Each structure stands twice: as structure tokens, then as C-alpha cells.
């Protein structure tokens, strides 16, 4: 059971989480995120230090500490346990204050980011102690690791988790941190923003769990982005493939790559609402449940690169050479379309854009469009569903679509639009494909 930032962001929410995890006495591992707002605050502390502004960093640290002091005073009642909680808060803020004094590095910024999940889990365990709920605290840094390519290896995590669990044979309830891990150099690292979902899926797969429940602040995956479109509805069932595409293409409710571990070990994933525990939510499993369009997601910050070359005409090897440039700079391509004399690709990482463009130059005329958004329409057997493509393009008639991609998978039609048209695109599709306004 994984609980996100909002689900643990207030003392009364943590009390509610304790109730949810003790509704039955099945053996379970509870994965917690940092309290909502904490990771953002830690990011800004790191940014201030990176910019050499120690005063600002100090101000942010003190503000965050005050928030935690208030939080524990409402979380815990028993004086001796409140004392224990105060000591935990003091320990972690002392650490931040020490970092303030030493020279800043990328590795230290990861240490800063890890404080959120360490605090939330330790404080939650003190509350469980107060409530008389038997449990064990599992330090995620003992078993969550990433390899030299910053990828988690399920096999390694499985072995390490089993070792850690061995020490607690008599326990039924375990609490651990989401998001944080150790990298191949043995340093504290993380699974990128939103990574607690990834921890949950990895842990569920590694522990051979019967289910991976992701508890958040909404009743499941909705058919469209509820932050942008007014009327959205939850989707009852998704296949692993559908959910993976929605997550990868921007549905914030799930970390972009969190589905594969659960899918690999066939552990069903449930998306549930902490604030409304009886709501059905979304079940993600092998089977899609139904065909047709399920949901739409959008991914911002996309750059489109078009390479036009008359030499591509009838030339083999052209695409290979093009893709090798992206491979060299470890930049993955999301969308591809080709014509007789041109190829367009999209990337979401501009770290090596300059170098990539320089190396592509000899291949032909290169044009770059930035500030693009990929809008993905996801659903099982999408194009075989009557009129879907017709409805999609009819709905999009006012939008200057820059690229269209279909056929790579049977559950996804992706279009690229300039980001200023994202909201309108999502709204038009909500009406055109779901009849919702
Ligand atoms: P948590 O802190 O629990 O991990 P997140 O904020 O990461 O929660 O994810 C939940 C949020 O995702 C929702 O509050 C909602 O605003 C947003 N969201 C974006 N797209 C979708 C979608 N298609 N369905 C449901 N929620 C979505
Ligand atoms: N606390 C981390 C974040 O805000 C991880 C997570 O919440 O999933 O990104
Ligand atoms: Mg999240």
C-alpha cells in the first residue's frame, strides 16, 4: 500500500492512513511519500545552495522545520512519544543545517531530497507506536538500489528485500520510504519526482504481493487530466499496457515508468482515494476489460526535430545514422513520423540538444520546434473501434497539429501540438471522444 504526499500531508490524514492499513490483518508493506510540499521545499533549498544563496537556504530550512514542529504537535499526544518525534525532527534538520556549511555537490542535493521520506516514515511509525499498532520500520536504502544507468534492477531488489525482511519473521506490517534509493556508487539517490509509485510497484513485484495499492487524492485514473478539464470520470479498468502509456505520456497520477515491475510479476495495481476509501478506483491488470478509448494524457516540454534530406530518398541506412546520433547522447525518442524525404522525431530531454543538432546538420535541413506537447489518446484496440479516428480528427479541426503517430502500439494515438493549444486540445477531445464538457 503506497500513500502519496496529500495522503500523509496532514496529521489527521496520517491517522486515517493508520486506519486504512489496519482494516484487515493481511501481511503488508506500506510505502510513504514525503508530506505534500516537502519535496518541493527541499528542491528549493538545494537550488538556493547550488546558487550560493545560503541565507535563502537557511530561511527555507527554518520554515520547513517550523512546519514539522506544528505537524508533530497535532500528530502525537503522549508526551514521551512527542519527545521522540521532536528528536527525529531535530536530527533531520540538524543534518540540513550541517549541509548548509559544507560545499555543495550534486550528491549532497540527493541527500537533501531524501529527508522528506525519512521524516514522514519515522514520524508515522511513532504514531503507530502511540496507536499500539505493531509494525517494523524498513529502511528503503537497505534494499532499493539503482544500477550504473540509474535503473532499478528487480532481481537485485528482490534479493535485498528478502534479506531485510528475514530479520522480522514475526511482523505483519512494514513501513518504508518511497522515492529514495542508493545508486551504483553507494550514494543516496532517488527514483525521480513522483518516484514513490515506482518504489511501490518494485516492492510489490519483489515481494510477490497479491496487489499493489496506490492511495492518492483522487478516485483512480480519470479519462482526462482533471487539473485542466472540468468534467472527468474515473476509468474502472486498464491493462498494464494502457496504464503504462498513460503514465509515460503524462498522467501525473502515476510515475512515468512505474508500471513495468508490477506488469512483469503480474501484480494487479489499484489506484484508490485515501479521502474516499470506498470509491472503486481503477484496477490495472493484464486484461483491458473493454476496447475503445479509455483516457487522454498530455506530456509537456517536448521538442520536435525534423530532418529533411533528398538523400533519404531510396537510401538505406539513413534512419540508422539519424538514430545513432540520439543514442550517442543517451536521448530517447518518443514519437517518430517519416515521409519519403524527411523524418520527424520528438525528444523530452534537451540536455544535449546542441550537440545532437550539430551532428545531424550534415544529413540535411534541420528544423526544430520547441514548446510542444504530446497528447496521447489511449485505449485497447483503439483504431479498430468504430469511428474513433474520425471523431478524433474532427474534434481536432481547430488545432494546428504538428505530428501524428499511430501504429506503434494498438493502444495509442499520439498527436503533437504547440503547448499553447494543449488546454483547448484536451477540452475538444473530452467533448469529441467522451461527450463530456
Ligand atoms: P500523490 O502525491 O498521491 O502521488 P499526485 O499528485 O502525484 O499524487 O497524483 C495525483 C494527481 O494526479 C491528482 O490529484 C490529479 O490532479 C493528477 N492527475 C493528472 N492526470 C490524471 C488522471 N488522468 N487521472 C487522475 N489524476 C490525474
Ligand atoms: N516525494 C517525492 C516527490 O514529491 C516522491 C513522491 O511523492 O512520489 O516527487
Ligand atoms: Mg505522485
> What percent of the chain is predicted at pLDDT more than 90?
89
Instruction: Give one DSSP letter per residue of 148-214, joined into a string.
Output: TTS-B-HHHHHHHHHHHHHTTTT--EEEEESSEEE-TTS-EEE--TTTHHHHHHHHHHHTT-S-EEE
Q: Are the C-beta atoms of 300 and 422 separated by less than 8 Å?
A: yes
Q: How confident is the model at residue 367 (pLDDT cuts 50, 70, 90)?
A: very high
Q: What is the mean pLDDT of residues 200-222?
A: 98
State the distance from the centre of ligand 3 to the C-alpha of 256, rounded, in angstroms: 10
Q: What number of CA atoms fall less than 13 Å from residue 358's CA on the CB side?
A: 6
Report pLDDT for 312.
63
The pLDDT score that the predictor gives to residue 349 is 94
pLDDT tens string 296-355: 999 999 999 999 987 665 577 888 889 999 999 999 999 999 888 889 999 999 999 999
| Ligand located closest to 226 CA | 1
Task: Using the mean position of ligand 1's atoms as its centre, give its distance from the Cα of residue 16 in Å.
Answer: 19
Q: Which residues line ligand 2 (CB under 6 A)?
A: 4-5, 33-34, 39, 116, 178-179, 193-197
Q: Average pLDDT of 137-152?
A: 97
* pLDDT of residue 86 exceeding 70: yes
pLDDT at residue 425 in the model: 98
Task: Supply φ then ψ for residue 81, to 5 degrees.
Answer: -80, -30
In this predicted structure, which of 283-287, 334-338, 354-358 has the lowest mean pLDDT?
334-338
Q: What pLDDT does 33 receive?
A: 98
Q: Which atom of ligand 2 is nearest to the CA of 192?
A: 9
Q: Is the pLDDT of residue 216 over 80?
A: yes
pTM of the model: 0.96
CA distance 293 to 398: 21
Mean pLDDT computed over every residue of the chain: 95
Residue 386: pLDDT band by 50, 70, 90 thresholds?
Answer: confident
Q: Could you tell me the CA-to-CA distances from 423 to 7, 139, 271, 374 in Å, in that order?
A: 28, 41, 25, 12
pLDDT tens per residue across span 101-121: 988 899 999 999 999 999 999
For ion ligand 3, residues whose CB falls within 5 Å: 4, 194
Amino acid at each position: 500500500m503506497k500513500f502519496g504526499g496529500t495522503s500523509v500531508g496532514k496529521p489527521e490524514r496520517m491517522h486515517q492512513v493508520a486506519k486504512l492499513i489496519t482494516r484487515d490483518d493481511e501481511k503488508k508493506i506500506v510505502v510513504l511519500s514525503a508530506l505534500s510540499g516537502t519535496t518541493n521545499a527541499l528542491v528549493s533549498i538545494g537550488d538556493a545552495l547550488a546558487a550560493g544563496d545560503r541565507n535563502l537556504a537557511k530561511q527555507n530550512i527554518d520554515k520547513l522545520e517550523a512546519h514539522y514542529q506544528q505537524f508533530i504537535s497535532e500528530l502525537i499526544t503522549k508526551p514521551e512519544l512527542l519527545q521522540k518525534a521532536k528528536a527525529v525532527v531535530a536530527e533531520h534538520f540538524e543534518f540540513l543545517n550541517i549541509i548548509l556549511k559544507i560545499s555543495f555537490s550534486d550528491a549532497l542535493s540527493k541527500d537533501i531530497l531524501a529527508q522528506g521520506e525519512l521524516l514522514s516514515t519515522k514520524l508515522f511509525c511513532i504514531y503507530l507506536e502511540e496507536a499500539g499498532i505493531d509494525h517494523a520500520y524498513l529502511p528503503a536504502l537497505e534494499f532499493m538500489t539503482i544500477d550504473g544507468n540509474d535503473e532499478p534492477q528487480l532481481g537485485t531488489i528482490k534479493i535485498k528485500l528478502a534479506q531485510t525482511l528475514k530479520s522480522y519473521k514475526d511482523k505483519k506490517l512494514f513501513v518504508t520510504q518511497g522515492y529514495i534509493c542508493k545508486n551504483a556508487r553507494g550514494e543516496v539517490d532517488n527514483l525521480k519526482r513522483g518516484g514513490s509509485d515506482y518504489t511501490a510497484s518494485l516492492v510489490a513485484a519483489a515481494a510477490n504481493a497479491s496487489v499493489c495499492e496506490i492511495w492518492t487524492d483522487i478516485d483512480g485514473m480519470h479519462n482526462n487530466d482533471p487539473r485542466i478539464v472540468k468534467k472527468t470520470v474515473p476509468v474502472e479498468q486498464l491493462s498494464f499496457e494502457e496504464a503504462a502509456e498513460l503514465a509515460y505520456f503524462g498522467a501525473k497520477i502515476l510515475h512515468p515508468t512505474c508500471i513495468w515491475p508490477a506488469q512483469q510479476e503480474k501484480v494487479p495495481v489499484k489506484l484508490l482515494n485515501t479521502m474516499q476509501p470506498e470509491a472503486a478506483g481503477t484496477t490495472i491488470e493484464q486484461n483491458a476489460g473493454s476496447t475503445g478509448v479509455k483516457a487522454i494524457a498530455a506530456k509537456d516540454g517536448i521538442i520536435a526535430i525534423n530532418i529533411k534530406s533528398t538523400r533519404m530518398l531510396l537510401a538505406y541506412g539513413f534512419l540508422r545514422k539519424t538514430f545513432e546520433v540520439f543514442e550517442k547522447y543517451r536521448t530517447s525518442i518518443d514519437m517518430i513520423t517519416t515521409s519519403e524525404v524527411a523524418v520527424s522525431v520528438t525528444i523530452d530531454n534537451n540536455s544535449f540538444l546542441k550537440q545532437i543538432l550539430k551532428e545531424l546538420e550534415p544529413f540535411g535541413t534541420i528544423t526544430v520546434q520547441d514548446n510542444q506537447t504530446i497528447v496521447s489518446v489511449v485505449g485497447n484496440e483503439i483504431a479498430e473501434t468504430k469511428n474513433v479516428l474520425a471523431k478524433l480528427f474532427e474534434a481536432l479541426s481547430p488545432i494546428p497539429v504538428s505530428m501524428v503517430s499511430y501504429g506503434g502500439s494498438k493502444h495509442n494515438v499520439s498527436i503533437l501540438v504547440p503547448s499553447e493549444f494543449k488546454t483547448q486540445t484536451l477540452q475538444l477531445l473530452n467533448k469529441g471522444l467522451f461527450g463530456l464538457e
